[in-house]
Amino acid sequence: MPLYEGIGLTEKQAVVIDIGAAYTKFGFAGESGPRCIVRTEVKCPETKQVKKVLNYSSKEDLYDLLVEFIHTLYFRHLLVSPKDRRVVVVESLLCPTLFRETLAKVFFRHFEVSSILFVPSHLVSLCTLGVSTALILDVGYVEAVLIPVFEGVPVLHAWQAQPRAAQAVESSLKALLLNENSEKEDFPDSTIEDIKVRTCFVTSFNRATQLEAVQPPPDVVYREGGTDTFCIPGKVREAVHEVLFEQDNDQTSISTMILDAIIKCPIDMRKALAENILVIGGTAMVPGFKARLRDELKHLVQQPKYASRLALKTFKFHKPPAKENYVAWLGGAIFGGTDVISTRSLTKEAYVKHNKVPDWADLSYNCWEEKMSL
């Protein structure tokens, strides 16, 4: 929270929020990083049970969870009044309409914010690089979502999504650990996440092709609860992230997602997209992830399935100016510091009048006559 706001400021900084399945990034527009990165969960005041915000059972349940969660963000982490500041919401283009409309209702009806600017996460991530063309792969907690952007326009018909992300890795890790430690009945989710972050990594492409034959890395002794210890085998540390790159029955993986998306784009876009790949999301921070992804692409593009359809030899990755887990938030913070927040935001008056949130997927907002009537 800024301790002193200059007299010359005509408007207070907007707040920027990026709600993820596991973690939420929250802070002020125009800053280089979020003020807080917290778990997307709330504690029920009555039952004292912790519940994830996205694990809602109904629209009413989601509304209550969001009210409690956003109240915590404003009054515990930022210490500012919601009424005084505009809001920038960084969202995925594939965000469910129910969640989007409920979030807007919470901000406008409960917290009475003046305006909300919804910005697509894949598109605003390019603002951190200063480029207008890239292939953005967001590897988060629940799924990996890929959307190509060419000259500032998302190529929506080429989007790709697969449930290959942190959740799949943690499920694989738990199964492998239970198999190695027969005396253990179960592991808490927090322990699994901590083990994944502290001890696991993505192995190289050459070692991955012969995991059973090569010598495994050293084992790690993990201390749980201060006194209990158990062993994490080296082969588990090395093999747990293979779930991201192994092809399923449909011959799809994170690597094939990139190539399949490029194939769906026009020929004149393909080279530019292949040489401008941006990987974001918390899972992309795993040591060895980008190097393995690059080697996988070089191998797959030589296979018969892709060699006859793609004449690509080079894949280049951008290095964003922030950690991968909050690159999208940083793009929203850049947008929130420009005039766009005044010209493109949904105001409280417009929301109260129409009681709906404009959505690119709703054809009524893509009709010129409808816009004129509004």
Structure tokens at 77: 């982490």
pLDDT at 9: 47
User: Of 40-54, 118-132, 200-214, which range is least confident?
Assistant: 40-54
pLDDT at 365: 66
Where on the phi/psi map is residue 281: left (φ > 0), alpha (ψ -120 to 50), or beta? left
Q: Does residue 300 contact residue 256 with C-beta atoms inside 8 Å?
A: yes
Rg (CA), the chain: 22
Range(s) for CATH 3.30.420.40 in the chain? 15-125+325-373, 131-164+252-320
Residue 373: pLDDT above 80?
A: no
Phi, psi of 183 (to 5 degrees): -75, -15
pLDDT at 234: 93
Q: How far apart are CA 104 and CA 81, in angstroms?
A: 17
Binning pLDDT at 50, 70 and 90, where does residue 105 land? very high
Query: Across residues 31-55, what is the average pLDDT?
Result: 89
Binning pLDDT at 50, 70 and 90, where does residue 367 land? low
Phi, psi of 213 (to 5 degrees): -95, -30
CATH architecture of 166-243: Alpha-Beta Complex (3.90)
Using a 10 angstrom Cβ sphere, with 0-12 exposed, 13-18 middle and 19 or more buried, the burial of residue 337 is middle
Cα dist. 241→102, 227, 307, 325 in Å? 35, 28, 27, 18
pLDDT at 43: 86
Chain centre distance of CA 257:
16
pLDDT at 224: 82
How is domain 15-125+325-373 classified at the CATH fold level? Nucleotidyltransferase; domain 5 (3.30.420)
Measured from the Cβ of residue 108, the count of other Cβ atoms closer than 10 Å reads 23
Give DSSP secondary structure letters for 179-191: HH-TT-----HHH
Binning pLDDT at 50, 70 and 90, where does residue 8 land? very low
Structure tokens at 4: 């002193």
pLDDT at 368: 53
Q: How far apart are CA 259 and CA 234, in angstroms?
A: 32
Range(s) for CATH 3.90.640.10 in the chain? 166-243
Q: Give the helix, strand, coil percentages of the chain, each rounded to 5.
A: 45, 20, 40
Query: Across residues 49-57, what is the average pLDDT?
Result: 90
Residue 157: pLDDT above 50?
A: yes
Binning pLDDT at 50, 70 and 90, where does residue 5 land? very low
Question: What digits encode the pLDDT tens for the residues 106-137?
Answer: 999 999 999 999 999 999 999 999 999 999 99
Chain centre distance of CA 358:
22
What pTM, to 2 d.p., does this model score? 0.90
Cα dist. 132→8, 129, 341 in Å? 34, 9, 20
Percent of the chain at pLDDT exceeding 70: 93
Spell out where the chain has E strands: 15-19, 23-28, 36-39, 41-43, 50-52, 87-91, 115-120, 134-139, 144-150, 153-154, 160-162, 220-224, 228-232, 277-280, 346-347
pLDDT at 84: 86
Residue 7: pLDDT above 60?
A: no
Q: What is the residue-averaged pLDDT of the chain?
A: 89
pLDDT at 374: 45
Which CATH superfamily, name and number, covers 131-164+252-320?
A: ATPase, nucleotide binding domain (3.30.420.40)
pLDDT at 1: 43
Give, to the nearest 10 degrees, the angle between helix 166-180 and helix 189-199.
Answer: 100
Measured in residues, the chain has a length of 374
Query: Across residues 67-77, what is the average pLDDT?
Result: 95
